[in-house]
Structure formats: C-alpha cells, structure tokens
Amino acid sequence: MGAKAARLCSRSCTLALALALCSGGLRAQPGSQAQPSGGWKAYPPEKMAPKGAPNVLLIMTDDVGFGASSTFGGPVPTPTFDALAKAGLRYNAFHVTAMCSPTRAALLTGRNHHAVGSGSIADVSLDEPGYTSVIPKSAATIARVLKDNGYDTSFYGKNHNTPVWENTPVGPFDNWPNAWGFDYFYGFNAPFADQFYPPLVENRNQVRPPDQPNYILDRDLSDHLINWLQMQHNLRPDHPFFAYFASGSTHSPHMVPKEWIDKFKGKFDQGWDKVREETFQRQKAMGIIPANAVNTPRPDNIPSWESTSPQLKQAYARMMEVAAAQLAYFDDQIGRAIEQLRRSGELDNTMIIYIQGDNGASEEDYRGSNNELQVIAGTEMTDAMLLEGAAKHGGPETFGNYPAAWAWATNAPFQWGKRVASHLGGIRDGMVVSWPARIKSAGEIRSQFTHLIDIAPTIYEAAGITAPKSVDGVAQQPLDGTSFLYSFDSATAPERHREQYFEMLGNRSYYKDGWIASTIPGRMPWNAGVGPEAKDFTWALYNLKDDWSQSRDVSEENPAKLEELKKAFDVAAKKYNVYPLDANLNSRMTPNYRPSQLGNRPSYSYYPGEARYGSYAFPATGPGWSIRATVGTSGVQSNGPVLVQGDHFGGQALIIDQGRPVYLFNPGDSGRIQRLGPDAPIPAGHHEIVVTFKAAQQGTTLEMLVDGKSVAHLETPLAVRGRGDAYIGRKGIAPLYFDAQQPVIADSCTCTIDVVTLERPK
C-alpha cells in the first residue's frame, strides 16, 4: 500500500471509529469486552448499587382515612392495594403526621418533620427553625442517598415541600425535586391540583397537560411512570430504581372520570353512620382491628344521617360517590404501573411500599361544597348551592369536597382526622409492603408501631446501604427513624420504634410502649383559627394495648404515667424544634410571614411568553391597583388574551375581543361574570389600556381607559381581586369560565403585547 493510500485508510478508520463512538456503537459498559481488563483510568467510576439491591416503588395517596380502602375494611374497592396485601404485609399501626407537607418531608428524609423545618404545611411557614418549610442540606432525601449508591430515581405527582416563595419560573431551584436527588420529576408544586387542568412541572420546566381526549391527571402520571420504567429497564438494566408516586387523590378537588363515578351510584345511600359501622364490622372480621376494639362515637357537632333532609342526602351521597371513585381510579392507575413491572420481570425484586394517606381523611369542609375555594374565602355554603351543584360534582366545573361527616366515617374506628396530631384519626393510616423475593409471610398483618420516618432506614437496610454521614460536604443529621425490616419475618417480634412525639397546630401527643398521652383538640378542623391557644389544651391518656382505637381516657387512674409522657413530649419538642407552638392556622395564611420574590415594589412588569406566574411571582390585585397594558391591534381582526389570571373557580382577564379591549372578572360563584369595556373596537395601532380598581362603599368601582380616555365604567357589589396562576399573551391551562355568553378566549393573542404592568396603590 502506498503512503497516500495508507493515509486515506488511516483517516477513514479514524472517522469510522469516531462515528461509531458518537452513535453509541462502541459504548463501553462495565464488564463489556470494549473495556480494558484493568478498567478505565480517567473516566469517573460508575456508581453501582450493592448486588441484589431491590427496586423500590414508594406510593402515597392524599387525605385518605384509615377506614376508606377495602384493604383495611373500608367501602372503597382498591384491588391493587388488596393484591399487594395478599402478596405482602398489612401494617395496621403505621403513623403519619397530621398534614401533607410535614408527612412528605418526614417520609423523604427519615427525620422528624420539625427537625427538617416542616412543622406545618409550606403555605403557612414561619421564621422559626421547626417551621421554615426549607428541608436543610443536612437531611439528604432517600432519592439522593440511593442515587449516590447507583439507583436511578424519579418522582411523580404532588410536591408540597418546595418553599412557596421559590415556586417561580426562575426558582431558585435548590429546593425542587431534581435538587433533592430525583433524576426526573413530573407533577405539580402545590397543595392540590385540578385533575382536569393541572399546572404541571417537568423537572424545572412549566408544561401544559398533554392534548388528549378526556385528559385526567392520575392517568397522565401513571403514563409517565410507566414510560420511565420502560426506559430505565431498557437503558440501565443493571441499575435498580427508586420511583416515588405521590398522587393528589383524594385531596380536594374531588375529580374523576364520569364513568367511574357511575360505578358508585347508590353505594352510599345508607349514609355515613351506617358506612362507618359497616366498615368497623369488616375490620373486625378481617382481623384488621382486635376483637375488643371500640368504634368511637360520632361527635355531637357532626349531624346524624337521619337528621339530614332527603334532598341533602342525595347531594351528600353523590359527594361520597365521587370521593370513592377518585380513590378507586387512582388504585387502578397505579395498578397499571405494577403490571408493567410484572411484564418486565422486575416485580419479584421490587419492594413496593403503598401508604394509603398522608394524614387522616379531611374534616376541613364542614358541610361539603362544590367549590371549596369559596368556603376557604369565607362564603357560607347554603343548601341551595349544594343541591344546585350536586349533579356536576366530580366534573371539571366543580372544586368539590365532601362534608366532614364522610371523613369521620372513613377514619373508622378512630376519633378526629386531618390536622389533628393528638388522635389516631389524624395520624394513623393503612400501609402495605410487598417484596416477593424477600417477604415469605404473604397476607399477614403486622401491628408493630411504625412511622413515616422508619421508611428511609428500612429501604437502606433492604438495599444494603449505610446512611451517609456527609453529603456534598455537609454533615448529616442522624436518622430519627428505625428500620422495620425485622417485622417482615415475625408478627410477634418486639417493636423497635418505642417512642414518638406528634404535633400539628398545637394538637400534640406522645407515644411510648403502648401508651399515648394526647391533648384534647381545642378547635374543629373547619374552625382552625378559632379556639384556645395551644398552651391551654388539656391532656388525656390512653392505653392502646387495651384500647386499640383510643376511646377511653384513663388519665385519672394513671396520673404518674400522664406526667411521664408529658415530660417526654417536652424533651422531644426541645430536641426537634417543635417550640414555639402556634395553634392558629388562619392567622398564618398571610404571605407577610414569609420571604417574597416580589417585595413591596410600586409596580411589576410582565412580558408575553410561556411563563406561568404563581401567587408568589404575581401580585394579588385589588382596590387601588391598576393593570396597564401596552398593545398593538389591527382592528376587528385582533383577538386573544393579554392577561389571564386564575380559572373558572375565580379569576380575571384582560383580552382583545374583535378589536375591543375587554376586562372580565369571574368571582368563582358560577354565573356572575363581570365585564368591562367599550362597545366599539379601538382603532388599529398602538394603545395603552388601563383598568383601575377602587374600593366602593359596597363592592368595587372599575374603570377602563384607552390612551388616557375613559371608555367604560362599572360598579359591582363584588370585591374584585386577582387569584391563581397568571399568563401574559396566552390563555390559562383551565378556562376562565364555562359561560357561552362570554367571549371565547383564544390560545394566544393576534395583537402585539409590549408589556403588562401592575401598579400598587399609591
């Protein structure tokens, strides 16, 4: 071969090699023939999990009571949960915190919730060590620890642990799921989500729901989980996975496909008293609760079913049908993901931990409602409103929740529910663990005391991993939980988690060796801002060894034991940053308690684009504010949104409708859309459109000006305020209204938008 030919061959071979490497054709894998016998010298070593480490699928639902699912004797069929229990173990003494953000922080870190700044939900955080809502770097999550040990990690559904002031299009992202060690996140950063129109986030990017017929969130989340499982198994089969699926079901709004609601027609016509009693009897027959357990009575301030009018009975039965359908539907969707594991052959060595509820069922909505946002805002739900909306309950036009009585029924056999950390109705939920390769006592019940903070150490022990003492140079807090892997082999093994404190909104308790000291709640969950201060709560004592459902106060017979546990609570409270106690939720709702990206600037300018601005990135307009938009129109051909904030549950918009500027306000009460604007189009060209809000003696005075000239004026008895996510130059994810008499808001504006400015009262 000549020199020229040799050079050409050399170049061709080099090019072929480069192309092969770039295309992945010669991708080196650990142990592959392409790898030198001594291993790679310069490439960072690949992290590998211990041999035989199981996959982990961690599942959690929202606001589900102990006695809701069929797996724990409840009226709602949950066949996936049932099947896992048959193949694994039911835990009937598993404990959570009494609200969602704290539960999730404790679950993900293996530490007590106050110890990781999560003493209450993120939305009411305080400038106190136990209540900041900021999970410290000294408490690495399960995802981060497993990722550092060769696992692939992903998260689907509800994230309610990012500090609210960091939940903006520009972050910061240090306290978002990716930064906690999740390779992939798909879900929502909020306490709840509209199942039909969710404000989705993919990793750090705001995305819109897929454009598909009959879209609903739980199906979408399951689709994404299944897709990720398939990719992960295909691309990295030698790596185990950790997947966390945290559905927003059954937190309000209760929403579910109509065909699933229809399955439950008539299933709850017997009412809440009978449903609770039927559940209690099934729980005994199934061995979920001891034969001597007591079904605690209905509180006096919850009405009996028989005292309810026939018309309201129909509305209330429908509300429970919807809630049951939503729970059953979620169970069906997670079942699809588990079937994927069966098809891929991964199910046998997958530890599935399925926690049914992040706290007890929600008793927050006393009468139930078709728009709970109105109830939160102070609107009293009348019989007429309940009856009028019953037929639509569960669909896209309602933001429904059932009455407290149904929550009481599905918390059987316990007292109280969500928000109440002193009693088991708020802190005990059903859990199932399935791991066919390891658990041989299939179908059995375990009654050892267990808690959320035990999940992390159990996973680490199962995987053969030691919790790190330092992560990214930050010394780690010790785990507060205790592995319950020991319980897999024995129903009678002595429990190892022997003591535990609980606290939420001043309600507190302390468990030790079968005894629990509990404060008597000072307020009902639906009146969280009314009642005595936490320091004035009285205490009771219960012996759970003889009184499984916490029904009898034995403090008078055992005063020394009560004092012992009260002192133990005080020690734990000081250790884990529980103090200072604050029993008043309502007073903490104001954003003034928390840091703000907005501050108190006199004006805020926004530009058209894809960004979605939440409440901490967009000011809440009201009396004294003005909206000022500089736009260019081409006459009657111009249409579309300039500013849209909120949705059909309440919101506002400034749009161009066939060349006319129009301001629209939806108070969220189904039918009183306020409209302001001129009758004729404005001339083609650039214009400044201003909408002003002024407080009137009763309601609000609105005025629209175009280029400084008043073109429309409106007096309304309503308090006009902006709420919800905001968009510039495009419509929201959810419609602003379902009113066919109002303009159709196009996807985007055929006008040009220079800037939209919101100006604060002078």
Burial of 98 (0-12, 13-18, 19+ CB in 10 A): buried
Q: What is the mean pLDDT of residues 518-538?
A: 76
User: What are the residues whose beta carbons fall under 8 Å from the beta carbon of 697, sequence distance 6 or more?
Assistant: none
Residue 3 clears pLDDT 50, i.e. is over it? no
Q: Are 641 and 730 in contact (CB under 8 A)?
A: yes
Q: What is the mean pLDDT of residues 390-398?
A: 95
Q: Which of 442, 462, 489 is the last residue of a domain?
A: 489
pLDDT in tens, 571-593: 999 999 999 998 877 777 776 67
- Give the per-residue pLDDT at 536: 79
Q: What is the mean pLDDT of residues 222-229?
A: 98
- What CATH number has the domain bearing residue 174? 3.40.720.10
pLDDT in tens, 106-155: 999 999 999 999 999 999 999 999 999 999 999 999 999 999 999 999 99
Q: What is the mean pLDDT of residues 275-287?
A: 98
- Give the per-residue pLDDT at 22: 41
pLDDT in tens, 448-484: 999 999 999 999 999 999 999 999 999 999 999 999 9
- Give the per-residue pLDDT at 513: 98
Within a domain: 121: yes
- Give the per-residue pLDDT at 33: 38
Looking at the structure, do residues 584 and 607 belong to the same domain, yes or no?
no
Give the pLDDT band (50/70/90) at residue 669: confident
Looking at the structure, do residues 340 and 226 belong to the same domain, yes or no?
yes
Residue 34 clears pLDDT 60, i.e. is over it? no
Within a domain: 5: no
Looking at the structure, do residues 584 and 605 belong to the same domain, yes or no?
no
Is pLDDT larger for residue 740 or for residue 67? Answer: 67
Within a domain: 446: yes
Within a domain: 645: yes
Q: What is the mean pLDDT of residues 170-199?
A: 97
Residue 304 clears pLDDT 90, i.e. is over it? yes
Distance CA 76, CA 306 (A): 22
- Give the per-residue pLDDT at 530: 55
Q: Are 222 and 756 in contact (CB under 8 A)?
A: no
Residue 7 clears pLDDT 60, i.e. is over it? no
Looking at the structure, do residues 122 and 157 belong to the same domain, yes or no?
yes
Strands (E), 218-299: 241-246
Give the pLDDT band (50/70/90) at residue 671: low
Within a domain: 128: yes
Q: Which of 560, 588, 616 is the last residue of a domain?
A: 588
* HSE-up (13 A, CA, CB side) for residue 289: 27
Among the residue ranges 439-443, 631-635, 694-698, the one predicted with the least confidence is: 694-698
- Give the per-residue pLDDT at 38: 57
Q: How many domains does the chain have?
A: 3
- Give the per-residue pLDDT at 10: 43
- What CATH number has the domain bearing residue 542? 3.30.1120.10
Q: Which of 553, 588, 623 is the last residue of a domain?
A: 588
Q: What is the mean pLDDT of residues 277-306?
A: 97
Looking at the structure, do residues 705 and 579 belong to the same domain, yes or no?
no
- Give the per-residue pLDDT at 15: 36
Looking at the structure, do residues 514 and 657 belong to the same domain, yes or no?
no
Within a domain: 25: no
Q: Is 240 helix (H, G, I), strand (E, B) or coil?
A: coil
Give the pLDDT band (50/70/90) at residue 17: very low
Mean pLDDT of the chain: 92
Residue 341 clears pLDDT 90, i.e. is over it? yes
Provide the domain limits for residue 673: 598-759
Looking at the structure, do residues 576 and 607 belong to the same domain, yes or no?
no
Angle at 573 between CA 572 and CA 576, to 5 degrees: 80
Question: What are the C-alpha distances in Å from 593 to residues 106, 174, 382, 596, 634?
Answer: 23, 21, 33, 9, 46
Within a domain: 631: yes
Q: At what angle do helices 310-344 and 79-87 cross, to 10 degrees?
A: 50
Give the pLDDT band (50/70/90) at residue 19: very low
Within a domain: 75: yes
Looking at the structure, do residues 511 and 608 belong to the same domain, yes or no?
no
Q: Are 424 and 414 in contact (CB under 8 A)?
A: yes
- Give the per-residue pLDDT at 670: 61
Residue 219 clears pLDDT 70, i.e. is over it? yes
